[in-house]
Amino acid sequence: MNEIRIFSPATVANVSCGFDVLGFCLDSVGDEMVIRKTDKKGIYITKIEGYDLPYEAEKNVAGVSALAMYADAKPDFGFEIEIYKNIKPGSGVGSSSASAAGSVFGMNVLLGNPYNNTELSYFAMKGEALASQSEHADNIAPALFGGFTLVKSVSPLEILEIPTPNNLYATIIHPQIEIKTSEARAILPKDVALKDAILQWANVGSLIHGLHTNNYGLIERSLHDAIVEPHRSKLIPLYQDVKAAAKTAGALGSGISGSGPSIFSLCEGINTAKSVEQAIRKVYANSDIEFDTYVSKINAEGMKILNN
Ligand SMILES: Nc1ncnc2c1ncn2[C@@H]1O[C@H](COP(=O)(O)OP(=O)(O)OP(=O)(O)O)[C@@H](O)[C@H]1O
Ligand SMILES: N[C@@H](CCO)C(=O)O
């Protein structure tokens, strides 16, 4: 195989209480990428469609992750990368991660799969760091592993796969503003109060237990963020109104998707997810804010090969 076309999924990071640790994969939105071998050694981004992004490999997250893997693999050929971007950069559903993870996933297949998903996540984090000025894997991991993931540690990198209840859906609303992850990280406090930390790790533990036991009530009671949301929600217009409308329409809970501005709601069943979508659309419909919404099942597979 000398060329591969893939679907590289959008992802939701943090998942309320799990800042920089938890994430899940979406299946209704993602980028497409083509990676092909070339005789010319090195990494070359040869086509970008959808959004205006750098062609220089060192300035594009897809190229940075690819270069990191290339330096380790040392093949006697090069790779060309085409990016067909559907995920708006700065939207909060892992646009940078879809590129960073997709390039190394595609290269790995063309190399005969010498690396596992944790090793691929390591390379992809190098690309993610270009976008967010920090190495975090909570979008990268669900994009590569699929489903829900927990990043146990970054150094050494250890990623845990968490079971996904089969009737869990996500409703996403994306107000058309851009929030760069690097900026949304810069406003966070360096220290947290012990009482908030206790609440946070209690919720992370109970959320994980709820996912393991298909306990939707426990998932609902765990979707709270005492540490990051109070600072970042100020960046998102009508955030509290969206949360309230989603809850009234039956959502288990809502939170900021990644660094925002997208807002996710987790729902039991597709009918509830669609009702929540209708309810939260009304919140922005009465404002001058452009937005889009979608409902997505949790994508248990992650990356998809489109040309095999
Ligand atoms: N291939 C790429 N895809 C997306 N963004 C890229 C890419 N290469 C460089 N960038 C830059 O990375 C930034 C987007 O990453 P950022 O992490 O801020 O947003 P996001 O990934 O969409 O959201 P989040 O990480 O919160 O889910 C933009 O400044 C964009 O110009
Ligand atoms: N955990 C990261 C995810 C960014 O998508 C942050 O919130 O800054």
Residue of the CA atom closest to atom 5 of ligand 2 = 258
67 with 73: CB under 8 angstroms? no
Intervals of CATH 3.30.230.10 along the chain = 3-162
Shortest-distance Cα residue to atom 3 of ligand 2: 258
- Biggest alpha carbon distance in the chain? 58
Residue by residue, pLDDT tens for the chain (308 residues) are 899 999 999 999 999 999 999 999 999 899 999 999 999 999 999 999 999 999 999 999 999 999 999 999 999 999 999 999 999 999 999 999 999 999 999 999 999 999 999 999 999 999 999 988 888 899 999 999 999 999 999 999 999 999 999 999 999 999 998 888 889 999 999 999 999 999 999 999 999 999 999 999 999 999 999 999 999 999 999 999 999 999 999 999 999 999 999 999 999 999 999 999 999 999 999 889 999 999 999 999 999 999 87
> Where are the domain boundaries for CATH 3.30.70.890 in the chain?
168-297
Query: For residue 146, how far is its CA from the centre of ligand 1 (angstroms)?
Result: 20
ipTM entry = 0.95
Q: What is the CATH number of domain 3-162?
A: 3.30.230.10
Distance of alpha carbon 194 from alpha carbon 49, whole angstroms: 47
Assign domain 168-297 to its CATH architecture: 2-Layer Sandwich (3.30)
For ligand 2, the distance from its centroid to the CA atom of residue 308, given in whole angstroms, is: 33
Q: What angle do CA 148, 142, 248 make, to 5 degrees?
A: 50
Asked whether the bond before 114 is cis by omega within 30 degrees of 0, the reply is no
Instruction: Please identify every residue annotated as catalytic.
Output: 128, 181
Ligand 1 is surrounded, with C-beta below 6 A, by 13, 53, 60-62, 83, 89-97, 99, 131-132, 139, 180-181, 258-259
pTM: 0.96
- Tell me which of 17, 93, 132 to substitute to probe ligand 2's pocket, judged by most ligand atoms within 8 Å of the beta carbon: 132
Q: How far is the CA of 202 from the centre of ligand 1 (A)?
A: 31
